[in-house]
């Protein structure tokens, strides 16, 4: 993956990489989007990081640490900027039974690609972090 990322950063096209690797173009296009956005962030001074740029970076999956490296800042400064811009992830729920019957399990995930939570948090709660199977 790092070689593919380096190739994209050095101007290889999705089509050329597909010809060389036979990796599906869809995945290559997604990688290109991320590489291109990282390159864009590298041109931005940390003091000129906008809410829109920061939100888009989070929606693409960049961590605060990765954003900080790109704009030559610190992870803490990026987190503070996110809080200032009120950029927070939403909690979404996975329907594990595809609405065939009421689900008894509560699988949740965080995303920056939503505007409201699927659940209402009215009492104390604990988060158990897992990675699936």
pTM for this prediction: 0.85
Q: Closest by alpha carbon to 63, among 34, 26, 92? A: 34
pLDDT on residue 105? 75
Residue 78 and residue 68 in contact, taking contact as beta carbons nearer than 8 Å: yes
pLDDT on residue 132? 65
In tens digits, the chain (133 residues) has pLDDT values of 999 999 999 999 999 999 999 999 999 999 999 999 999 999 999 999 999 999 999 999 999 999 999 999 999 999 999 999 999 999 998 888 877 887 777 788 899 999 999 988 888 988 788 776 6
Q: What is the dihedral of CA 93, 109, 125, 128, to 10 degrees?
A: 120
Length reported for the chain: 133
Instruction: Reply yes or no on domain 2-84 having CATH 1.10.8.60.
Output: no
pLDDT on residue 82? 97
pLDDT on residue 10? 96
pLDDT on residue 133? 61
Give CATH 1.10.1030.10 domain extents, the chain. 2-84
d(CA 60, CA 111): 10
Instruction: Count CB-CB contacts under 10 A for residue 30.
Output: 14
pLDDT on residue 19? 98
């Amino acid at each position: 993956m790092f070689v593919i990322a380096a190739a994209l950063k050095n101007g290889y096209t999705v089509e050329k990489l597909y010809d060389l690797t036979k990796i599906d173009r869809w995945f290559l296009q997604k990688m290109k989007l991320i590489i291109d956005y990282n390159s864009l962030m590298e041109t931005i001074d940390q003091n000129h990081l906008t809410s829109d740029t920061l939100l888009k970076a989070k929606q693409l999956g960049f961590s605060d640490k990765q954003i900080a490296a790109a704009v030559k800042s610190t992870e803490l400064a990026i987190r503070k900027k996110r809080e200032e811009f009120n950029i927070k992830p939403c909690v979404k729920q996975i329907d594990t039974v595809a609405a065939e019957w009421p689900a008894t399990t509560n699988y949740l995930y965080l995303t920056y690609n939503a505007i409201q939570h699927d659940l209402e948090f009215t009492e104390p709660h604990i988060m158990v972090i897992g990675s699936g199977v």
